[in-house]
Structures are given as C-alpha cells and as structure tokens.
Structure 1
Amino acid sequence: MKRIHRPVRTALLALLTVTLAAALLPTASVAPAATASGALTLTAAGSAAATDRWTLDLSVVDGDDVNVRSTPAGLRLRDATAGTARAALGPLGTPAEGMLVGTPRTLPRPATRVHADVTARVPAGGAVEVEVRGWRTSGGWTEWRTGTAVFDRPVTRVQARVVLTARDPRAVATVRAVRLTADSAATGPRAAAAAATPGITYRVFATRIGLVGEVTANGRTIQPRDHFVALPSRRALAPDDTGDYTVRVCTTNGSRCTYAPVWDVGPWNTRDDYWNPSAVRENWKDLPRGRPEAQAAYQNGYHGGRDQFGRVVRNPAGIDLADGTFWDGLRLTTNAWVDVAYLWTGSEPHGVVGDGPLNIRAGASTAYASVGLAARHAIVPIQCYATGQTVAGPYRTTNRWNRLATGQFVSHAYISAVYGGTVPRC
C-alpha cells in the first residue's frame, strides 16, 4: 500500500541532548524539561562513579542495521518515506523507522546499571531513542529498554541500538554521538530463586503475516514459508539471524508446537509488551497482564476500539506468524487462538537450534511422529536429556535427545550451543 503523508509544518531544528539509559527493570522516572530554544532535555535519575565508558560507533552500517546511513554530520534515516513490513500495512500517521544495532561490549567487570548520553539534532515530528540490553550469564539477554537501567543481577555484556523515526520526510533526526557508561548501583533485595520454568504463557489470537518480499523491523526480507513471528513491541525484537527472543506457539489442543524467533514488530501496535506486568509494561498499563491492547480494543472497545496509531482494530491479534510458522509449524489453515510462551522470561537451560526448521518428535527417535518444528536460530528450553536413536547432524553424531518443556524431543545433533545451566539426565 502506498504510504500517505500529512502536510508538514515548518520545523525548527534544535540541538537535542538526551541523557537516556536502558531500563531493564522499572526504576526512577525520567522527567522532560522544555528549554527556551524548543529543545528537549531528558536527564536520567541517579549517578555513581563509572566503571566503564565507551562511545557507540555510528560510522559502521552493516547487515543487522535497518534503513539508516552514516553521514559526516551523523547517523540519519536512509529513506524517510519507507516503513517496515508492519508499517507498510498502516495508513496515515505510521512513522518511517530506522535502526542501528551496536556491537555487544564485554565489560571489564560486571555492572548493574547503564547510562546512555545522546547528542542529536531532531526536528519536530522526528524522534531518537537509545535502547540497551544486558547479558546475564545464567539467563541470556534481558529485554531492550529505554530509561534508567538498573539490573536485578549483574550483567557481563551490554548492547545498545539507536532507533530513529520520522512522521514525514523532512522530520529526519541526525545523531551525532552516543556515549555509554556502565557502573554499579544498589539493586535492593533479590527475589527468592524460583523453580526452573520455560517462561510465562498466554492464549492470544494469531494472524498470518504473509508479505513475502517485504522487510521486517529487524531488516529481514521475508522469504516464502519463512519461520519467525512478530510481537507488538520492540522490547523483544531479536537481531536478524538470532533467536535471542524466541516464542513457543502451540495449538490450543497441544497437538502441535513450533519455536520461532521474534523478527518483526506487530500486529497493530509497536509499544505493547503485554506479557510484562503493569509496572514494566510500556503502554496500556491498566490492562490485565497477558491481554494485548488490540484484543481489548476489538472485544471491549478499549481506547475507542483503536490502536496506538488511531486505526480501527479489525481483529484481536496479539501475535503474527510468518507463513512457515503458520502453515508448516502449526498446520493452521486460518487465523486462530494459540498458546504462546515467551521463552526469554523462563529460567531453564536453553539450547540454540543451529540448523532448521528442525522436527520436534514425540519421542527420542525419528521413528516418532513430528509434532512441530523449531526454526533455525530458535532457542528452546531443555528440561533434561535422554538417550535414543543415534543421529548424525551438523554439530555432532550423538544418541542424546533433549526433552523440551512440552515433553517433546529434539536431537542434540542439531543444537549448536546450550546456556543457562547444566542439563540433567531425564
């Protein structure tokens, strides 16, 4: 669909200096303050002696970056008229977007807090955000956050990404510098350790993405029978060719399950992390946890029956499935309710599927029926391992089979790595 743009007001470019920090847990709020020049200054609360400082390299734009370019003046949108696959569905008011994903930085010592200082020129109608996440050795990546970052556990690596948006072609921001600081802060008492779990699960309505040939929010060109999903928040958007954020999607009768990475943002909203508690949820905090805004709008007239862009919500979808996930993984023939586990919220050991889509079996042998698929790069929660048929795969020849949280099995011959703990024998 050809995108339509609203008439543009004359925009006064002003220097925007933003102190942002990546919030991976709810902490002190960030208060905006307007200046006489029309610039907006945001200052993250709290300060402590720094243990590590570095500057994000804005000059290198590569394969995991989307619709941005490096110029002598700074980082800018490459095409301010182009949206992602999700935005391509939207009418008036859906902004163009671009994203630069920085290289993860290994910290010289574990940290519990991260600040990001951003210097940018931003016209009216444009926006710049810096999102940061941290690597927990026992739990993988946290979700992406903006705001003040105070982690519940020390992190050993930090990754930042810069997101630029523009509501019209003349509202293009220029990011001049991003400086990050990692240090330690008091985090308060930790919650007691809970039993290992695969992640929280909610029943939501699923729709099929389609859009073959379009570009996803993380820069992937959608392939025929592709295997990924879209969720309506960038907080769980994985870089292309990674499964950093993976969901398990099962039919409501449990007959088939599929594991797929989150490579796009949608449907409907882009700031609705409905799987998070209200204290963390970015928008729609008054909705029950696990209830997508689109579902509430469609079923109950919430927010006037519209999404965050003002569009009338035509279905209650809380997840979009690429064609391979929809047709081959779940063998759906029409949009349907499904049970979705958000696996990065779990605490079990995880295995990375190095080659796929991989058949999920009902037992520890290829003689058992295939009861679903695990996409390449997907991360699967492993309860324990059993011995069974010997399989020669891309990583090893082995008779080890990993039992997943659903009681189903995948051959260890196709698992490239395991992290988050030791896998016991079943």
Structure 2
Amino acid sequence: MVRTSKFAGRRRGTRIAVALSAPIALLLSATPLNAAPLPADQWTVPLSSVDDNDLNVAYAGDALALADPAWKRKPDQPISEGYLVVGERALSKPANRVTAELTANVPAGAAVDVDVRGHLGGEDWTEWTPAAAEPAVLSAPVTTVQVRIGLYTKDSAAAPSVSNVRLTADEGPQPRADVAAAPLTYKVFATREGLVGGTTANGHVIKSRDHFVALPSGRSLAPKNTGNYSVRVCKTDGTRCEYAPVWDVGPWNTKDDYWNPSATRQMWKNLPQGKPEAQAAYQDGYNGGRDEFGRKVGNPAGIDLADGTFWDGLKLSDNSWVNVSYLWTGSGPSGTVNTAGDPMNVRASASTTAAIKGLAANKAKVLIECYVEGETVTGTYGTSNIWNRIGPGHYISDTYVYTGSDNPIAPKCA
C-alpha cells in the first residue's frame, strides 16, 4: 500500500512585512496584460484564487482586499487581518532566493505582507520568509515554492488592497548552515487559548477541547488542516507531552520568531535566542513592558495551548512553564499523524497497554528517530507491528503515520 498525501497540491504560502505606522503607496512594476511572457521563474500571483482555505479576503475583480475590514479573530486583537495562501509553484531549476514586487494601496495604519516558503521534500518546508522589503533567502535550494499574502488594518476605513504581485526566483547567496538533527528546544511560559468557536490565523474554527498551539510569529503558521509546522510541548518534568500543529499566531506578538538566531529573527533582534519578547517585557521591562502593538504585557507567554492540548495532552490546571521543541528546526525522517479526528496516545513502549506519555494530535508532523517491532495494530494505513519512536521514550504505531512509504523510513532502534 503506497501512502499518498491527502494534501498534495493544496495551497500554501508566504508573507512580506510592511510596518503599520505610516502611509505607504506600493506601486512597483505591475505586469501589463499585453506584456511579453515572463521568464520561467518569474510569475504573477493569481490573486483571484480565493477559496475556503483562505481567511477574510476577497477578490473584487481587480484587487485583493479584506472581505470584512472590521472583522477581528479575537475580541482584544488590535488589528483586522486576512490571508491568501496561493498554490504551489514548480520552478524550472533550484533556487534559494525569491523576490516580490507588488502594486498595492496601503493607507496609514494598514500593512501588506508577502511571505514565501520552499518545499524541502515530503511534508517538510522552510519557514515563511518575508520577500518584499528585501529578497527572501531560503534555508536551502528548492524547486517548489509557495506564497502567502497578508492584509492588515487598524482602521476599517483605511483597509489595504493589492492589485498585482510578481515573484522572481533565482540563485542567491549560500543558504544558512543546516540545522542540527535535534530540534531547537526552549523553556517558555504557556497560557490556555480557549476561544472556542473563534477562528485561528489559518482559518480553523476552534472546537471544544481542540488540539493545536499558537506561536507569536506567522513564520511557523501551518496552512489549514496541515501540520507542516508542529511542536512537541512538555511539562518541565517530562511526565506529559503533546505533539501538536501550529494553527494560530500569538500570544501578544505576531512577528516574534524567538526560536531563531538574531541574524534571522524578524523583530527584537537584541534579545537572546529562545527568549520571547513578551517574557522580556513582563520580567525585565523590555520595550517599556509592551508588545509590538503597544499593549501592556500581562504575562510572559511564548506559546498558547488549545484547550485539549492544555487539559488532556499535558493535563495542566493553570498556566505554566513548559519545554517546547520546534520540530521543523530539526532534521531527519518525519511523518504526519493521521487519525482522521481525535489525537492518539503516545506510549512508553510499543504496546497499546504501555503507559501513556501524552498525545499526538491529528495532522501533527513528527520526527521519527527510529522504529521497533511490537504489538500488531490496525490503523489508518493498514495493519503492522512497526512502532515509531518520535521522542525520548515516546512511541506511536506506524499505521497512523503518513510517511510516503510502506516500509520503515528510519533505522531500527538499538
């Protein structure tokens, strides 16, 4: 049985940041209708390709705009937002640099972002990287890219619109060195997101006891119903963990990819790697104790947990410090959990009677360290006695993991 991805060919994207502070008129070279064909790796983004995987955007015949400029995902959110995630684009040759040119109307108090990401193979992608203010340099050469356009406004009467986006992919400077095999892990403060019935930044409607997390940067936002960017979040004593996709942006900030080094961190470059801006603001008075929107920071949170992740995955009763592994920063074999619904138990060994160490949420992308042979299980992908070790003492049946292969993709555990 060959495993094929349910999400092959689905639309994913990237974003470019424009500050929400001053009036801006982005009138870069649009492509006239009668222009000569573009080179193979230069193309115009189809702004009319809005569907139900996008968030609060509409195409009105000549421009992409917010469908409802007054709509906010969260009651206390200071901005209205919308995203268009565009289909994957195959390149004629490998490229690691993408440049965006756009024609847009961006009034004072509004912003337009264009981000891109590159497909690394399988379910792996680079982080979303801004591509308008300066070219986006990806972490490795790729032959498939995706674009995401974000629209933001603080004033519904001054909403932005975008009438043309042209992208160019080519070979730029050498990419950053490959990350270590182990994912980056930091101790941060976790808060419960709640907001059942609300909408996340990728368009997911939050369910009761849902399973996902929010991080304060759109660079790690997984497209709707995917887990390209997932985390392992654990109690500090390691007794409970959950593997969960990143489906929302927050808490507090939206451009604080604190897990990245200063050279690539989008904002707050003078903070130590691994320290969220909200933590620095709350504990040290950094930035006057305020977030990027000028709000007084009321806790040091660097991650929000959906209710199911909070209560069932980690069995927390209050906001707490946790250890978070940002799984896309690691390398090695990987697969996507597919239970068709509820999360699955993570076991201490290769048996359905072994101690439960936590949960793996549906659509979470996990790193596979090695495999063992254990109890025979029937799951989404047939019947097998193969179990994957996805973390220290963490095992899940291979029959619930999409890997693209009928055979183990990782070495046998010692």
Q: TM-score range by the shorter chain?
A: 0.7 to 0.9
How far apart are residue 117 of structure 1 and its match? 1.5
Matched residue type, 2:54 = D
Is the counterpart of residue 176 in structure 1 residue 163 in structure 2?
yes
Offset, 1:405: 2.4
Aligned to 1:156: 143
Pick aligned residue for 2:59 from 70, 73, 76: 70
- Residues 38 and 253 from structure 1, CA distance in 2 versus in 1: closer, same or farther, beyond 3 angstroms? closer
Equivalent of 1:131 in 93, 112, 115: 115
What is the CA deviation profile of residues 116-145 of structure 1, one whole-angstrom value per residue up to 9, with x for unaligned ones? 111112222222111101111388211111
- Residue pair 2:240, 2:358 contacting (<8 A) in 1 also: yes
Taking the aligned partners of 1:68 and 1:78, their CA distance within structure 2 comes to 5
One of 250, 253, 260 as aligned partner of 2:237: 253
Distance 1:206 1:195, change over 3 A: closer
Q: What are the superposed Cα offsets for residues 47-101 of structure 1, whole Å, 9 maximum, x if unpaired?
A: xx9651222111121122000011013111011111123xx223xxx11111100
Q: Is the 8 A contact 2:127 2:219 kept in 1?
A: yes
User: Structure 1: how far apart are the matches of 2:15 and 2:85?
Assistant: 17
Q: Hey, what does 1:55 align to over in structure 2?
A: 44
1:204-225 Cα distance to aligned partner (Å, 9 max, x none): 0000000000111111111001
Aligned pairs (5 A) from 1:233-252? 233-252=217-236
Compute the displacement of 1:174 (Å): 1.8
Asked if 2 retains the 8 angstrom alpha-carbon contact of 1:214 and 1:222, the reply is yes
For 1:170, what is the secondary structure of its paired residue?
A: helix
Offset of residue 186 of structure 1: 4.1
**TM-score, normalization by structure 1:** 0.85
Residues 1:115 and 2:102 aligned together: no
TM-score (norm. length: structure 2): 0.87
Question: Is residue 14–residue 146 contact of structure 2 (8 Å, CA) maintained in 1?
Answer: no
- Relative distance call for 1:350 and 1:186 in structure 2 (3 A) is same
Q: Which residue of 2 aligns with 1:5?
A: none
Residue matched to 1:165: 152
CA contact (8 A) 2:27 2:102 kept: no
CA contact under 8 A between 2:129 and 2:137: conserved in structure 1? no
Give the match's secondary structure for 2:64: strand
Pairing 1:378–2:367 present: no
2:343 is the alignment partner of 1:357: yes
Residue 359 of structure 1, CA deviation: 0.7
Partner of 1:7: none
Maintained 8 Å contact 1:401/1:411? yes
Give the equivalent residue in structure 2 for 1:16: none
Deviation digits for residues 282-307 of structure 1 (CA, Å, limit 9, x no counterpart): 11111111111111111111111111
Q: Does 2:255 correspond to 1:266?
A: no
Q: SS of the counterpart of 1:39?
A: strand
Mean CA deviation greater in 144-153 or 393-402 = 144-153
Corresponding residue number in structure 1 for 2:330: 346
The equivalent of 2:395 in structure 1 is: 409
Partner of residue 280, structure 1: 264
3-state DSSP class of the match of 1:161?
strand
Is 1:219 the counterpart of 2:206? The answer is: no
Q: Which amino acid counterpart does residue 63 of structure 1 have in structure 2?
A: D
CA distance in 1, matches of 2:105, 2:15: 23
State which of 367, 375, 379 in structure 1 corresponds to 2:353: 367
Distance 1:334 1:403 in 2: 29
Instruction: Supply the distance in 1 between the matched residues of 2:24 and 2:276 (Cα, whole angstroms).
Output: 35
CA contact (8 A) 2:202 2:223 kept: yes
Asked if the contact 1:22/1:116 (under 8 Å) is kept, the reply is: no
In the alignment of these two chains, the number of paired residues is 384
Whole-Å separation in 2 of the counterparts to 1:166 and 1:194: 35
- Per-residue CA shift, 1:202-252, capped at 9, x if unaligned? 000000000000111111111001000000111111111000100100000
Choose which of 376, 379, 386 in structure 2 pairs with 1:400.
Answer: 386
> Structure 1's 358 and 38: CA in aligned 2 closer, same or farther, altered over 3 A?
closer
2-side partners of 1:291 and 1:303: how far apart? 14
Residues 133 and 396 of structure 1: is their aligned pair in 2 closer, same or farther, counting only changes over 3 Å?
Answer: same
1-structure distance, mates of 2:179, 2:205: 39
**Residue number in structure 1 paired with 2:186:** 202
Residue pair 1:133, 1:142 contacting (<8 A) in 2 also: yes
Q: SS where residue 311 of structure 2 aligns?
A: helix
Q: Aligned Cα RMSD in Å?
A: 2.6
* Structure 1 segments unaligned to the other structure (5+ residues): 1-20, 25-29, 44-48
Answer whether contact 2:117 2:127 (CA < 8 A) is retained. yes
CA–CA distance in structure 2, aligned partners of residues 23 and 150 of structure 1: 13
| 2:66 counterpart letter in structure 1 | L
**Aligned equivalents of 2:227, 2:311: Cα separation in 1:** 20
Check 1:386–1:55 CA distance in 2 against 1; reply closer, same or farther (3 A cut).
Answer: same
| Aligned residue type for 2:161 | T
**Greater alpha carbon shift after TM alignment, 175-184 vs 237-246:** 175-184
Q: Residue 32 of structure 2 aligns with which residue?
A: none
* CA distance in structure 2 between the partners assigned to 1:365 and 1:265 by the alignment: 36
Could you list the per-position Cα deviations for residues 259-292 of structure 1 after superposition, in whole angstroms to 9, with x for gaps in the alignment?
Answer: 0111111111111111011111111111111111
Amino acid at match of 2:348: A
- With over 3 angstroms needed to count, the CA separation of the structure-2 counterparts of 1:305 and 1:38, relative to structure 1, is closer
- 8 A Cα contact 1:352 1:418, kept in partner: no
Percent identity for Structure 1 against Structure 2 = 56
Unaligned ranges ≥5, structure 2: 1-12, 30-37
Alpha carbons 2:96, 2:138 under 8 Å: kept: yes
